Structures are given as C-alpha cells and as structure tokens.
Structure 1
C-alpha cells in the first residue's frame, strides 16, 4: 500500500469535488436561509471520502470522469451531510461541534437545520436522476442509494444506535449496527463507481466485500479516535460515546481489542482486493491506497 498514491489522488480530486459542490449549491433553493444552511454544512469541509471512493473506482476501470459522472458521484456527499445534520440534533446526539465549527442547529436553529437535512436528502437523488448518464445506470444507482440510506441501511443503523444506548450489544449486533449506520454509504460509494463503469459482476462482488471491510475499519478507527484523540484533533466532541453509554468497539473489546479488530478488518479488505485483482486482471493500487487512511 502506497500512501503517496492516495495523497496525490486526494490532492487532484478533493478540490474539484469541493468546487463542484460549491458551484452547484449556489442556487439550490429560492429560500436564502435554506440555501445558506444547506451550503454551510456541505461546504464545512470533510474528507470527501465517499465521492473519492466512487471516483477512484471509475479511475481504476479507465472510465473518463465526465460532468455527468461528477454529478452522480458527488450526490452521496449530500446524503452524507443530511445524515450528519440530523445526527447532531438535540433529539439525537446533541452535538454542538462538527468539523471544528458550530453544528447546523447551533448556527441556524433546530427548525432550519431539520429542513436543511430534509432538502439535501432528495437533492441527492435529483443529482443522480439529472446527471445525463444512461437510464439504466441512473436506475441502478438510484436504487442503490435508496437501499443504502433507507430503512434497511443508514437509518436502520441510526435507530439501532439510538435504541441501543445504555444496553449491552454483543459483537455481531454491534457489527450489524455499524454495517448499516456507517458502512452502508461506503458500500454504496464503491457500488456507484462499479455501476457507472459497468464492471462485471464477478469483479463487483469482491470489491463490494472490500467496501464492507473498509466501512467496518472506518467505524472501528473512529471509535478508537474518540477514545484517544482530543476535540481539537477531531473537530468534534470526543469521549461522548462512553459518557452516553453507547456501544463502541473499545467499550466492548477494550482499546487493544479494538485495534486487533481494526487489523482484522484491514486484512479482510486486502484479501478482497487481491481477489478482485485476480478476477479483473487490473492494478488496484489506488483502491489499496485508501487503506493507508488507517495508518495515521
């Protein structure tokens, strides 16, 4: 795994993603306050991990990234941001800091924040539908995003997280919770690239296994950072999960156990990538480089 490969890819595409989101959201509503609230959270920064994963899949399979691909690939960031706005609300996690800045409801009020999230969710589907990709690709990607974000995906994980607070979950239950809450949109991000590039099913399967292992690693890593990092380093409150008796990997397995679980997830991801490389005959170095995210 070559971290420089990821660094170079991010340096090329993250500014383009940010510029695209900025431009496309300039006139996203005829209500200035709603536009401001939507733009505030989408443009607040962030890794842009999900659209970067989609673009990395397209790059790996030699798919030119056209304006249509960019629109369909960045739509996931709108869905992701909607989930963060609602996750931060007083009725949910009641967070006041996100990416080092006041959360949306702190900045604009709880009512406007709810509506900003409500607006971003359908806008993500609008961007895919209006992307000028083929009807078949649009249909497949729309269905994939609906499944990833809906009652058997991200929202299912979110309610399991809410209802599980204060209860002891066993490891399989915790994995299922995070497979839905965090992993579903990461799975979708890889899947969206596979759909757009029209990758054959025999190659899609191991790459989606890679996505699921990556999503699991991402959540374990985040749980570890919540224990080991400061609010200044994370750009959000830390140690809240333990304070609110939420189920986490360090809480269930201890810090050393969580680090072992992270290592196991990364090994699963590497194995899946090797299977995909064998099935496709392609160099998957770019996708492998995403695993260096966890070496910091």
Structure 2
C-alpha cells in the first residue's frame, strides 16, 4: 500500500470507530469534512517515513501516530480559520468548517479531533506501553503549553511577539512531534529526532509565509495576503522575499544534516530531499528555473 493510501485508509478507519447513530449527525459530518479531502498530509507522511527508517516493527502503532498527528493538524486548521482568529472562509479549496457548518460546530469539531487523536494512540499502542507513554507525551507537548501549537496560536494575542519563538510553536512543534512520534512508534529513542522536525517545521513555515505573499487563492486553496492584512509576524516581512528564500534553503540544508543514524538513513534523506524540493512556492521556483 502506498504511503498516501495508507494514511487515508487509517484516517477513515479511526474516524469510523467514533461514528455512531447516537451521536449528533451534523457534528460527525463536520468532523469528516475537516479531515477529507486532505492536503498534502506532510506531517503523517513524516511520521511514517521516520518509522520506516527506524524499522517500523509495529505498523499499527505508527499508523495511529500518523493519524493522531494529522487529527491535531486538522483541528488546528479548523480553529485557526474561526472568525476570532483568521476569519478565513476558505480552506483546501472549499468553504472552511465554520463557513459550512457554523461557528459552534467548528469549535466542537476541532475539540473532538483533539480528543480523538489521543484516543487513536490509546487504542492501537496499548500493547506497547512504553511506546504509548512516549507517544502521549510527545503529542501533548507538541500541542499544549508552553511551546506547542496552542501556545503558538496564543502568541497572536500578545502585543509583542518573538518571531522565531512564535513560529517554532505554531508550526515547528507539530513537525517535531511528527519526527519524534515516528521514532517512538518504532520503539527507538525519539529525542534525537527533535532537531530534524524543528528544522523542517521552521522551513515549512517560511515556505508558508512565502506562499501567503506570492501565491494566489486558486492555487493555494485558501486566502492569501493574510499575514499583512492581519498584521501577523512573518519571515517575508522580516527578511524580504530573497532573504526568506535564502533562509528556507539554509533551514532545509540543516534539516538534512540533522538526520540521526538509523537503518534507513539514506532512503529517508533521499525522500526528505524530494519533499523539500516542493517547499518553494511554484511562482518562485519558476523564477529560479
């Protein structure tokens, strides 16, 4: 089974387990709507890539880890789009969840995905208690305070923001959780994989800042120019387009150099390099060609 198909199948199966005739039907519909169809599934792919490089001796655990990470990511998008934050009416080329189902169901659907992420780990990793404990801690730290994605979102409510700290939390934290979760799911030490996730996450955020500045809504599937319109701190504003592109390349080089020694190190680095080549927005890649 191809990685993308493996991820979609696992997500569908885990969501189906939580669906019931006794649950509010529109809430269940909103939850599925927020997950399918998905984006590039970068984070769960990263989980499975690291798990594979480390042996992937318990694929049911790595599947659950990938699902948990993606559910958290989808929940963050639902909440990020809410009127109290970005007020975005478009996500992944379709109406955002609050635009399609209303604000109340968007809040509840995002909350449900957060709980379901932990439930997915508990269901599939309970036979590997040491791995389960590690995965629960990784997920909690990647999402909560002081430096998870919730803290990252909360920095937007502050008067003074440290750009690096803000982006490490808002984007980097879940990337670091993805690389560490892949290692933990395979039963190996996860802390050495933090730096890879940190660097990839920061690079992805720089790429996202660039897309917001130079792309169009049709290609991106969501509004552009949001950073400037909302006054959010971003790398393009701090460094300019050329400076941001240069910084992106620097981060990607550091990420490749940080891959820990593992059985599948060479294959993993090759895969990451292919994915990293897609980070640069199409408009800028065409200029560089």
Question: Given the two structures, how large is their TM-score scaled by the length of structure 2?
Answer: 0.89
What residue is the counterpart of 2:25 in the other structure? Answer: 32
Task: Name the CA distance, whole Å, in 2 between partners of 1:157 and 1:266.
Answer: 22
What residue is the counterpart of 1:235 in the other structure? Answer: 221
Task: Write the mapping of 1:40-51 to structure 2, written as runs, cut at 5 A.
Answer: 40-51=33-44
- Alignment partner of 1:292 is 2:281: no
> 1:117 Cα shift?
0.8
> 1:234 Cα shift?
0.4
How big is each residue's C-alpha offset from its partner over 1:118-145, in whole Å with a ceiling of 9 and x where there is no partner? Answer: 1111110000011144011011100110
Question: Given the two structures, how large is their TM-score scaled by the length of structure 1?
Answer: 0.87
> 1:224 Cα shift?
0.4
CA separation of 1:33/1:259 partners in 2, compared to 1, >3 Å: closer, same or farther?
Answer: same
What residue is the counterpart of 1:272 in the other structure? Answer: 258
User: Which of 239, 249, 261 is matched with 2:247 structurally?
Assistant: 261
User: What residue ranges of structure 2 are gaps of 5+ in the alignment?
Assistant: 283-289
User: Which of 71, 74, 79 is matched with 1:78 structurally?
Assistant: 71
User: What residue ranges of structure 1 are gaps of 5+ in the alignment?
Assistant: 1-10
Q: CA RMSD in A?
A: 1.9
Counting matched residue pairs gives 274
What residue is the counterpart of 2:195 in the other structure? Answer: 209
- Say which SS state the counterpart of residue 70 (structure 1) adopts: helix
What residue is the counterpart of 2:132 in the other structure? Answer: 138
Task: Name the CA distance, whole Å, in 2 between partners of 1:73 and 1:281.
Answer: 18
Task: Write the mapping of 1:169-188 to structure 2, written as runs, cut at 5 A.
Answer: 169=161, 173-188=162-177
- Alignment partner of 1:98 is 2:91: yes
What residue is the counterpart of 1:156 in the other structure? Answer: 151
> 1:293 Cα shift?
2.8
Task: Name the CA distance, whole Å, in 1 between partners of 2:273 and 2:93.
Answer: 29
